[in-house]
Chain A
Amino acid sequence: MLAASSIVELRKRLLAREISPRDIVLDVSKAIEERNHELGAYLSWDVEAALTEADSADIQAPLGGIPLAVKDNINVSGQPCTCGSRILGENYRAPYDAGVIQRMRQGGGVPFGRLNMDEFAMGSSTENSALGITRNPRDLSRVPGGSSGGSAAAVAGNLAIAALGSDTGGSIRQPAALCGCVGIKPTYGRISRYGLVAFASSLDQIGPLTRTVEDAALLLNHLCGHDRHDSTSLNVETPDFMSAVGRDIKGVRVGLPKEYFISGTHPGVAAAVQAAIRQLESLGAIIEEISLPHTELGVATYYVLAPAEASANLARFDGVRYGHRSDRAGDLLEQYMLSRSEGFGPEVRRRILLGTYVLSSGYYDAYYIRAQKARTLIRGDFIEAFKKVDVIVSPTSPMPAHKLGELKENPLAAYLEDVFTIPVNLAGLPGVSVPCGDVVLDGVSLPVGLQIVGKALDESTLLQVAHAFEQTR
């Protein structure tokens, strides 16, 4: 089945003329038709558009003829971009290609299919999508994680070769861990966010979800790079990430933050991660305990800064230029109030209210400025730690995938599950989740992810360690 292959395998077969790009699109499309009704990974997919592009694809290009699925918050010209929200779900069509899509096309890739997500990427289970439920391919009664839950479910469920996601507090790495695929969030600024619908602009970053570490390296080679349309995009050289793949890890210094290996992590997750650490050691890595003393500030800091930024970013949804407009409104103010209240779901409204509160007169210093100061301490922890080690490892998520609906009435409990991923966004660092084992719950084996975090712009070492570990499995 072509839809279950890696990019690297498919590229070899394309270059050998054993298969055509059309064959791949048709096979992925067949897999979607067969299984999407139970998984709910895709919100929409335009087979004809993908076939047209596949037929004219340049096979010699590095991603030539490979269909890649896209989270539904990244604009692809002419396609929907719902953000999992009713406010954009009615009839929005993207008028342009996002920067990352321009790069994907330059590399020969074919954007195919729109993936479900928590509304405006706010959530860790994809249950906040207003447009449908996504299920974990390993256990259909469980969530796929989120917010890029559609991306992870599609890749792990063999409904996509690879996918794009976005990560503001763990939204690529956590669903990759919970579904059992590879997910990497590059350094803040590596991949252009022009055309990514903004959630929290100081934290958002696009990245790939793939079947293998090698595929992630290949995609990064062609998705990274400066874009003048994104003022936060870094004007730095993109190294050849593929050259990191296959290098041994003898002497690589691996840090274990003592604050991350405490109670609260599911014992099955802890055991899988401990086994992975022993494996890294047996490959020649040097394991050292380190300290990230301000870890406990991470979630609190994030839930001030991210909602604050979101409340400003989502002000653009006013029913004027695009998106839902209420037909009950008499005047302009009422149009704003009703269009937004009808269009946004409960979690998005909760975060807009929280963000508005922490930015409001009298509370700005107490919350927003205080959180920005805490961010300095969290970032400083990593700078200190990386004087001693090359990478830092931990569980990606303290828990395996929970049951659908389990955390619905308790938003704070859901927020706390992002404890290991959030500090990485606050510090702007690259992080990857690779499958590292399973935990059996109710007789079903659920995936566990190992998070590897690196220095800013040092994705190469991440990929080197992730790949070396992956080969032992």
Chain B
Amino acid sequence: MPESHQIDIHHIARLARLQLTEEEALQYHAQLEGILSYIDTLSRYELGEVEPTAHAMPVFDVIREDETGGQSLDKDAVLCNAPKSTAGQFQIPKVIE
């Protein structure tokens, strides 16, 4: 585990698709430093040979028939939540020049 936390907060914000003001970036940077220092508790334990647990119950690869079973949601009920829609589709800003 890294000794000091090299947090490039602007890089992380870009990955997370969040825009931060300079003031917010400074504040989040400091808070993340504090939280990560606490999380370093994990480095005090020898965990090398331990198997990771992704979730607590033994349920794996649940599969079912590839069919909707006639239970698709109503298109209008779904589209009425879209900020913008047109011709029965979600509308977004133009992406191809």
Which residues of the partner chain A approach B43 to less than 8 Å between Cβ atoms?
Answer: 370
In residues 38-84 of chain B, which contact A (Cβ within 8 Å)?
Answer: 38-43, 45, 47, 50-57, 59, 62, 64, 73-74, 77-78, 80-84
Which residues of the partner chain A approach B34 to less than 8 Å between Cβ atoms?
Answer: 412
For residue A379, CB closer than 8 A to chain B, the reply is yes
Which residues of the partner chain B approach A360 to less than 8 Å between Cβ atoms?
Answer: 11-12, 15
Asked whether A96 lies within 8 Å of B82 as measured between CB atoms, the reply is no
Once A91-B81, A356-B12, A366-B1 are accepted as A-B contacts, the answer to whether A379 and B53 lie under 8 Å apart by CB is: yes
Cα-based distance from A332 to B57 in the complex (angstroms)? 39
Cα-based distance from A321 to B35 in the complex (angstroms)? 33
Asked whether A338 lies within 8 Å of B84 as measured between CB atoms, the reply is no
Once A331-B95, A412-B35 are accepted as A-B contacts, the answer to whether A353 and B78 lie under 8 Å apart by CB is: no
Which residues of the partner chain A approach B80 to less than 8 Å between Cβ atoms?
Answer: 93
Once A320-B90, A353-B32 are accepted as A-B contacts, the answer to whether A301 and B42 lie under 8 Å apart by CB is: yes
Which residues of the partner chain B approach A367 to less than 8 Å between Cβ atoms?
Answer: 1, 39, 42
Which residues of the partner chain B approach A398 to less than 8 Å between Cβ atoms?
Answer: none
In residues 1-43 of chain B, which contact A (Cβ within 8 Å)?
Answer: 1-2, 7, 9, 11-13, 15-20, 24, 28, 31-32, 34-36, 38-43
Cα-based distance from A352 to B93 in the complex (angstroms)? 25
Residue of A nearest to B2 (CB): A366
Per-position 1/0 for A353-380, Cβ under 8 A of B:
1101100100100110111111111010
Q: Find the residue from B1, B53, B73 having the highest chain A CB count within 10 A.
A: B53
Asked whether B51 lies within 8 Å of A341 as measured between CB atoms, the reply is no
For residue A185, CB closer than 8 A to chain B, the reply is no
Which residues of the partner chain B approach A321 to less than 8 Å between Cβ atoms?
Answer: 78, 81-82, 90
Min Cβ gap B43→A in Å is: 8
Which residues of the partner chain A approach B78 to less than 8 Å between Cβ atoms?
Answer: 95, 321
Cα-based distance from A231 to B2 in the complex (angstroms)? 36
Residue of A nearest to B13 (CB): A353
Asked whether A96 lies within 8 Å of B73 as measured between CB atoms, the reply is yes
Residue of A nearest to B78 (CB): A95
Asked whether A95 lies within 8 Å of B73 as measured between CB atoms, the reply is yes
Which residues of the partner chain B approach A411 to less than 8 Å between Cβ atoms?
Answer: 31, 35
Residue of A nearest to B1 (CB): A366
Cα-based distance from A301 to B43 in the complex (angstroms)? 11
Cα-based distance from A428 to B56 in the complex (angstroms)? 5
Asked whether B95 lies within 8 Å of A373 as measured between CB atoms, the reply is no
Cα-based distance from A349 to B73 in the complex (angstroms)? 30
Asked whether B38 lies within 8 Å of A337 as measured between CB atoms, the reply is no
Q: Chain B's interface: helix, strand, loop or mixed, by majority?
A: loop
Which residues of the partner chain A approach B73 to less than 8 Å between Cβ atoms?
Answer: 95-96
For residue A175, CB closer than 8 A to chain B, the reply is no
Asked whether B56 lies within 8 Å of A188 as measured between CB atoms, the reply is yes
Once A95-B73, A353-B12 are accepted as A-B contacts, the answer to whether A341 and B95 lie under 8 Å apart by CB is: no
For residue A30, CB closer than 8 A to chain B, the reply is no
Cα-based distance from A340 to B15 in the complex (angstroms)? 12
Asked whether A332 lies within 8 Å of B95 as measured between CB atoms, the reply is yes
Asked whether B42 lies within 8 Å of A325 as measured between CB atoms, the reply is no
Q: Interface on A for B, CB 8 Å cutoff? A: 91-93, 95-96, 187-189, 201-202, 228, 231-232, 234, 294, 296-297, 299-301, 303-304, 311, 315, 318-325, 329-333, 335-338, 340-341, 344, 349-350, 352-354, 356-357, 360, 363, 366-367, 369-377, 379, 411-412, 415, 426-429, 456
Q: A95-B73, A202-B55, A456-B57 are known contacts; what are 6 more A-B pairs with Cβ within 8 Å?
A: A303-B35, A322-B83, A349-B24, A353-B13, A357-B12, A376-B52
18 contacts between A and B (CB under 8 A): A297-B45, A320-B92, A322-B82, A323-B83, A330-B93, A332-B92, A353-B28, A357-B7, A357-B32, A366-B2, A370-B42, A372-B52, A373-B50, A373-B51, A374-B42, A376-B51, A412-B34, A427-B56
> Which 6 A-B pairs have CB atoms at the shortest separation, nearest pair first?
A428-B56, A372-B52, A325-B83, A202-B55, A322-B81, A95-B77
